[in-house]
Amino acid sequence: MRSLLNLPKAHLHVHLESTVRRATLREIGAANGVQVPGDTGAFGSFAAFFAQNDLVRACLQRPADFRRIAYEFCEDETAQGTRYAEVSFTAAAHGERLGDLAMPLNAVLEGLEAGREAFGIECRLILDHSRRRSVERAWRTLDLARRHDAVVAVGLAGDESHPGDPFTDVFAAARDEGLHVVHHAGEGEGPASIRQALGPGRTERLGHGIRVLDDPDLVAEVRERKIPLEVCPSSNVALGFASTLEDHPLPQLLDAGLIVTLNTDIPALIDTPLATEYARVREAFGYDDHTLAALARAGVDASFAPTSTKAHLHQALDTWLTTPEPP
């Protein structure tokens, strides 16, 4: 079995605020007057998950904080074999909280550029918006996205019990202006969530999407339309959407002929960086190197990366598969 740290990967579903190193969180928290517990931040309920998110937000206050977490994201992803990433960031929420709408996004972009120069990783941003928040903030998210070429997409995240229909005009405008749209759907809620995202929501990928299997007709539609799924098995288990990794529907999604990409979602919170996610899937389902490389290729193809980046990554995957591991 080849090293999964060396497997060239694209990472399409990961939230920047959920990648922050614990030591970094303690340091910036101390600088900003926020006490951060010394534990690992593990959680076993949605209440604890949301509390952790609130803690991270409270710590992030200065431009240097946002630059640092973006730079360290690049460093940590490079160590995992990630060559290209589309990282989600709730820019407008941070900007409104801090009284400077543009500052958090500008600082994150600076950190990603510094990370590219230092580590060679190519990163772009998806600006997400919580379904629980206002349509007005969603428009502000779109306005921020318009300003930067490094922002490739916008989309809805958060509790899927809150409908996506109030935001349809925002995402229609985004598509009309050449931005991509990617929504979380089909994780906590079922096929109706996915149908809304695919229809009026105009999504191009499904963030999670694992509940598609609840409806055979929907499986056929997603397969026919070649809609990629951003599947995050360890996160699904941690948040209670799958009982164990072995019971996760990843194999059924692949067997159904769907496009499946492998991602982490909230790696720092569940201590599962991307290479570890691949290793856990290998162990749980007995996948060989060719199957794992196919998952990585799906991530490359489903990305919004330039054609040249995709070609380079496919070549790197060919090399990974044909180069013997050293003894």
Protein fold of 4-322: TIM Barrel (3.20.20)
Q: In this prediction, what percent of the chain has a pLDDT beyond 70?
A: 97
DSSP tag of 187? S
* Domain definitions of the chain by residue range: 4-322
Does 280 have pLDDT greater than 70? yes
Q: 38-42, 145-149, 176-180, 193-197: which range is least confident on average?
A: 38-42
Annotated active-site residue 187? The verdict is yes
Mean pLDDT of all residues belonging to the chain: 96
85 bridge partner residues: 11, 123
Q: What is the largest CA-CA distance in the chain?
A: 58
HSE-up of 221 (CA within 13 Å, CB side)?
Answer: 15
Confidence band of 263 (pLDDT split at 50, 70, 90): very high
SS3 call for 40: coil
Closest Cα partner for 14 from 267, 301, 278? Answer: 267
Q: In this prediction, what percent of the chain has a pLDDT beyond 90?
A: 93
> What is the predicted pLDDT for the residue at 71?
99
Tokens of 44: 């076993």
229 bridge partner residues: 206, 260
Confidence band of 38 (pLDDT split at 50, 70, 90): confident
> What is the predicted pLDDT for the residue at 327?
66
pLDDT (tens digit, 9 = 90+) per residue, 42-99?
566 667 777 888 999 999 999 999 999 999 999 999 999 999 999 999 999 999 999 9
Confidence band of 269 (pLDDT split at 50, 70, 90): very high
pLDDT (tens digit, 9 = 90+) per residue, 284-315?
999 999 999 999 999 999 999 999 999 999 99
Q: Kindly name the residue from 17, 77, 187, 277 that is annotated as catalytic.
A: 187
